Amino acid sequence: MPQYRHEWKHEISLSDRLILRARLKAVCRTDGHAMDGRYRIRSLYFDNLSDKALREKIDGVTPREKFRMRYYNGTPSPIRLEKKSRFSGLGTKETAELSPAEAQAIVDGKLDWMPDSGCPLVQELYHKMRAQGLRPRTIVDYTREPFVYAPGGVRVTLDYDIRTGLGRTDFLNPDCVTIPAGESIAILEVKWDAFLPGVIRDAVQLEGRRTGAFSKYAQCRIYG
């Protein structure tokens, strides 16, 4: 059974990001996978011809889910297939590893290998691509600064330099061109398990900011 986690999201400014970075460095440790405190993420999101995932996000439908593939720092090994689900304000994520050849086959619509993959998440994606018409929809690139705090299983991230592939799906192509998805948008995300420690609650408080439902996928879909 997947574990559901609490999640806050805030759209923030550059000055907010600088303030939050200083506060979080004082109380958290940096994610061990980060290089110089950050890493670059490239994702490829799936949707169907009626934009089911996009519309459910915009309308706040619950429960809802979305599929994506992603890799880090320009190195497509490993590639992660992920399914994110939301229910009553809580979120969970299921993951599986793909080889570059498997990811490219999915992008190319060569799906016959998926039912025999032995991976339940790959098999689920296959059936939804067949039954619901899910297909790769657009690339989303961004930079992430991750912070972790062990009590409460807290993970705080600052995401910025969000870029869209304008409907392109060749996300294994290092020369794929992306463009900025809006004016200097940055996102604060706070995720935790059973409780959010007061020291983190205080560190992420910003004057005049309210929890929102910002979606990098929805932001990038404005452009294609």
pLDDT recorded at residue 57: 87
pLDDT recorded at residue 130: 97
pLDDT recorded at residue 207: 79
Residue 141 scores a pLDDT above 90: yes
Mean pLDDT of 155-161: 96
Q: Give residue for tokens 């979305």.
A: 66
pLDDT tens string 30-43: 887 788 899 999 99
* Most confidently predicted of 29-43, 51-65, 135-149, 169-183: 135-149
| Cβ atoms of residues 142 and 162 within 8 Å | yes
Instruction: For residue 179, list its beta bridge partners.
Output: 164
pLDDT recorded at residue 161: 94
The rounded distance, in Å, linking the Cα atoms of 3 and 85 is: 11
DSSP 8-class letter at 111: -
Mean pLDDT of 125-154: 96
Residue 177 scores a pLDDT above 80: yes
How high does pLDDT run on average in the chain?
A: 91
Phi-psi region of 37 (alpha: psi -120 to 50; beta: other; left: phi over 0): left
Cα 65 to chain centroid, rounded: 12
Residues ≥6 apart with Cβ < 8 Å to 208: none
